[in-house]
Amino acid sequence: MEKLTLDKLNIGDTVLIKKINTQGDIRRRFFDIGLIEGTKVTCMLKNSDSSLLAYLVRGAVIAIRKEDLNSIIVEYVGGNL
Amino acid sequence: MKEQYVVALSGNPNVGKSTVFNALTGLKQHTGNWIGKTVECASGKYNYNGIQYNVIDLPGTYSLISHSTEEELARDYLIFNDIDVAVVVCDALCLERNLNLVLQIIEMNKNVVVVVNLLDEARKKKVKIDLEKLSKILGVEVIGTEARNGKGIDLILKGIERVINNKKDCYKIKYDFLEDVIKEISTELEKIDLKKIDSRWLSIRLIENEIGLINSVNEYLGCEIITDKISKLILKAHHILLDNDIIINEINDYFISKILIESENIASLTVSYNDKKYTEKTQKIDKVLTSKIAGIPLMVLLLFVIFWITLVGSSYPSDLLLKMFSFIGDKLYSLFEYVHIPNIIIDVLVNGIYKVLSWVVAVMLPPMAIFFPLFTILEDLGYLPRLAFNLDRYFKKCNACGKQGLTMCMGFGCNAVGVTGTRIIDSKRERLIAILTNNFVPCNGRFPTIIAMITMFLIGVKGNFSLFKVLVLIIVILVGVFFTFLVSKILSKTLLKGESSSFTLELPPYRKPQVFKVIIRSIFDKTLKVLIRAIVVAAPAGLLIFLLSNISIGGNTILKILSDFLDPFGRLIGLDGVIILAFILGFPANEIVIPIMIMCYMSTGSLVEINDLSVLKNLFINNGWNLNTAICVIIFTLFHFPCSTTCLTIKKETGSLKWTLFSIFLPTIIGVTLCFLVTCMFKFF
């Protein structure tokens, strides 16, 4: 089975971060906003062509481009907020 | 006891840090609801109980683990400067993430005061924070504030005083299996004079192997800190980490995760949420404002409404001011004649300087005084990050950064501010693109020129066509935005080749704008500043024009010689010599381009009293203007070299004369080309 990654969420989905498979700048940026393995995030918004997605992370809503998210493996925990 | 203390103010972006700074120091630094507003360190001071405190406002950062200029700046300031107290301002609504920075600063072993701000917003959203418990856990002063309403500021003052006199033992993050080796390195480090640097903190950074930081520390202490012994201990630490499945590349992650997990634990002990409805409300608004169908149209509509209010609102005061100034001008003239001031001086004063100044005030000021506050309210509300959110897909296609949408909007207020604002863009390449294209959106100083052209030549002076006028103005702006994308794309494919890099954009919750404060602030800070700048620039310009038009060489005035020289080129692109000259002389401030044209035309022809736009229109028509000229003036206003302030800012931000010159030529070449094409079209049809 293919692993679920953060870019594949629908609005309202809440997941736990399992693994961040990326290096360099973007990894640091994820840490800055508090996105680490074990963090709970909820998908909040998508822009008009779903290339930019916004997530609720530790109380703040943060937008990240879709292509930066496919390296983050997540696990579904369910429902709205 | 010292007589002066230094207080450093730090915090995440957008937590009201600048508001706290203003409240402490009384300085009016503009605060907006977007990320990275404080891109330069501001400083101020206050007195409390007879002691002076100097306050430094550090750039807003999420952490001190450097990857951006701001974070490095903030970190280095905290380490290498003699700071007595570090105040960390936090957002009560997302304390957990803010605690990350708090713990990092506490780890530096500074005197820390934690300010939990925006308690009013938290109360509204039913978020409760146990400040006392937080203070107990962290071992530092914790103060709750509502800085916007001025609540809690006195508590900050007291808190700062308290920590200076009495430092407590504060929270220490334990790094499990590394603790022993950290202690060993610390003991070793303490053998040298570390000045104010904490040995435990430095030990951890050495294990992390942050080379940039280590070099700065070496330089600061004037010695090599990594001795053979220490280097062996670091190696030992790396082995211990390896034994625990942490490879060298992931050492950083280990320390960061540790801090984040501690933040999570502390937050879970001190914060309770009783209501989820409000985030849902923000989400609902956002879903509409960023939706597929409505997002972009709503954006344009909003722009339309703002400009409509600006145009309608400013036409009456403008008319009134023009009539008043012309009346005063007449009286001044008579007065000066009455006291027998030589005619030539009266000419300089009244027909030169006074006319330019009164034009700037009457025609330029009302639109600015209305547009600025409206724009600021939009900023305060938190709409601009949403705008960037909507526009990112287009910037992405241009291989540029989505945050460029934000800095582009800042350009509407002032291009120099927009250029400085590009510091929020991490990638150097994308930042340069944002800097070079910022000038393509017309700033506040250029709107009135465009509006005047539209009014006089495209719509007609008389009659109420304000809706139509706004429509034309919006089209002009959209042309500017279109060129922002086009040029960004071309730059990404040629001079600044590269793929677009990753970024994160925070969408802060909407905040109720402080309408009254915004209006006061805009008038006193912005509008008056612009007015003073215009006066400072316009008065000498008026004098210069007067001299140029009265000193003759070989029978012709210098002004005539200059404008005749520029005329053939001007005609080629639908303008004339005077217009080109006006844009060149208007380099220090775009606001005075039209006044310079008026002065030039009047110095050669008959003297007219400008108390109405139709009189002005006639003056222009008498000097050979037509629709072609007006359209080309609009195009050239939109696309020409940035004003001197913006050029200086570009030089400062890029640190490169080459790019500054490029930023001057790029829009000018586009403007000349477009004007030429338009003129050709006019000739053929």
Task: Catalogue all structural domains in chain A, each as residue range(s) with its CATH number.
Answer: 6-76 (2.30.30.90)
Domain co-membership, B155 together with B62: yes
Which chain B residue's Cα is nearest to A25?
Answer: B67
Q: B382 contacts in A (CB within 8 Å)?
A: none
Do B139 and B226 fall into the same domain? no
pLDDT (0 to 100) of residue B41: 67
Quick one: which H or E segment has residue B666? Answer: helix B657-684
Rounded distance between C-alpha atoms, residue B608 and residue B610, angstroms:
6
**What is the span of the domain harbouring residue B24?**
4-165
Angstrom distances, CA of residue B334 to CA of B343, B352, B603: 11, 16, 20
Nearest CA to B643 out of B599, B584, B570 is that of B584
Instruction: Say what the pLDDT of residue A81 is.
Output: 43
The terminus-to-terminus CA distance of chain B in angstroms comes to 83
CB pairs A-B closer than 8 Å: 122
B506 contacts on A by Cβ (under 8 Å) = 33, 60-63
CA triple B268-B273-B277, angle to 5 deg: 145
Residues B100, B105: Cα–Cα separation, whole Å? 9
Which tokens go with B403? 């945050």
How much is the ipTM here? 0.90
At residue A13, the 3 state secondary structure works out as: coil
Q: Which residues of A touch B (CB under 8 A)?
A: 23, 25-34, 36-39, 44-45, 47-49, 51-52, 54, 56-65, 68, 81
Nearest to A54 among B260, B291, B507 (CB): B507
- For residue B60, which of B112, B108, B18, B19 has the smallest C-alpha distance? B18
* pLDDT value for B38: 46
In terms of domains, do B103 and B182 share one?
Answer: no
Whether residues A29 and B256 touch (CB distance < 8 A) is answered with no
**In sequence order, what are the residues at sequence separation of 6 or more whose Cβ sits closer than 8 angstroms to the Cβ of residue B327?**
B611
| Nearest chain A residue (CA) to B249 | A23
| Whether B80 and B133 share a structural domain | yes
Write out residues in chain B with pLDDT < 50, as ranges: 31-39, 606-607
* Tokens read off for B636: 């050239």
Write the pLDDT tens digit of every residue in B8-36: 999 988 788 888 988 888 765 554 444 44
- Given B108, B143, B165, the domain boundary residue is B165
- Whether residue B200 lies inside any domain: the answer is yes
CA nearest B254 in A: which residue? A36
Domain end position, chosen among B120, B146, B165: B165
Residue B246 within a domain: yes
**Do B151 and B184 fall into the same domain?**
no
Contact yes or no for B651/B657 (Cβ under 8 A):
yes
Between vectors from CA B241 to CA B238 and to CA B247, what angle results, nearest 5°? 85
- Helical H runs in B339-427? 343-346, 355-359, 365-381, 383-397, 404-413, 415-421
CB A23 to CB B249 under 8 A?
Answer: yes
Q: How far is CA B255 from CA B34, B102, B260, in A?
A: 29, 15, 9
DSSP state, B523? I
Residue B257: inside a domain: yes
Considering the domain architecture, whether residues B95 and B152 belong to the same structural domain is answered as yes
Q: Are residues B132 and B64 in the same domain?
A: yes
In a domain, B611, yes or no: no
Distance in angstroms (rounded) separating the CA atoms of residues B310 and A81:
42
Residue B54 shares a structural domain with residue B135: yes
- Confidence class of residue A80 from pLDDT cuts 50, 70 and 90? very low
- Contact (CB<8Å) B63/A26: no
CA distance to partner chain A, nearest, from residue B605 (Å): 57
In a domain, B219, yes or no: yes
User: Which residue do the tokens 């100097």 mark?
Assistant: B54
8 Å CB contact of B505 and A63: yes
Asked if A56 and B279 come within 8 Å (Cβ–Cβ), the reply is yes
Output the domain CATH number for residue B55. 3.40.50.300
> In whole angstroms, what is the distance from residue B629 CA to residue B455 CA?
14
**Is residue A36 scored above 80 in pLDDT?**
yes
Q: Environment class of residue B275 by beta-carbon count within 10 Å: exposed (0-12), middle (13-18) or buried (19+)?
A: exposed
How far apart (Å, rounded) are the C-alpha atoms in residues B519 and B175?
A: 51
Q: How many domains does chain B have?
A: 2
Contact B113, B163 (CB under 8 A): yes
Q: Is residue B443 part of a domain?
A: no
Sign of the CA dihedral with B395 first, then B401, B405, and B407 last: negative
Same domain, yes or no, for B126 and B213?
no
Sign of the CA dihedral running B667, B672, B677, B683: positive
Domain boundary among B273, B304, B332: B273
d(CA B674, CA B634): 11
Q: Which residue of B has its CA nearest to A30?
A: B504
Quick one: tokens of B138? Answer: 């962290």
Predicted local distance difference test score (pLDDT) of residue B35: 43
Pairwise CA distance, residues B100 & B8, whole Å: 17
State which amino acid sits at residue B439: N
Cβ contact B402–A63 (<8 Å): yes
Of A34, A45, A68, the CB nearest to B97: A34
Q: Which residues of B touch A16 (CB under 8 A)?
A: none
Tell me, yes or no, whether B109 and B11 share the same domain: yes
In a domain, B470, yes or no: no
In terms of domains, do B203 and B255 share one? yes
Task: Say if the Cβ atoms of B392 and A54 lie within 8 Å.
Answer: no
Longest dimension (CA), chain A: 32
Q: Please give the Cα distance from B443 to B276 (Å, whole number).
A: 40
Q: What CATH number should be reported for the domain holding residue B232?
A: 1.10.287
pLDDT at B635: 95
* Cβ contact B296–A48 (<8 Å): yes
B500 falls within a domain: no
Instruction: State pLDDT tens for residues B625-635.
Output: 888 899 999 99
Q: How far is B76 from chain A (nearest CA, A)?
A: 18
Contact A32 B504 (CB under 8 A): yes
Q: Would you place residue A35 in the very low, low, confident or very high pLDDT band (cuts 50, 70, 90)?
A: confident
Same domain, B11 and B118: yes
B86 dihedral zone (left: phi>0; alpha: psi -120 to 50; beta): beta
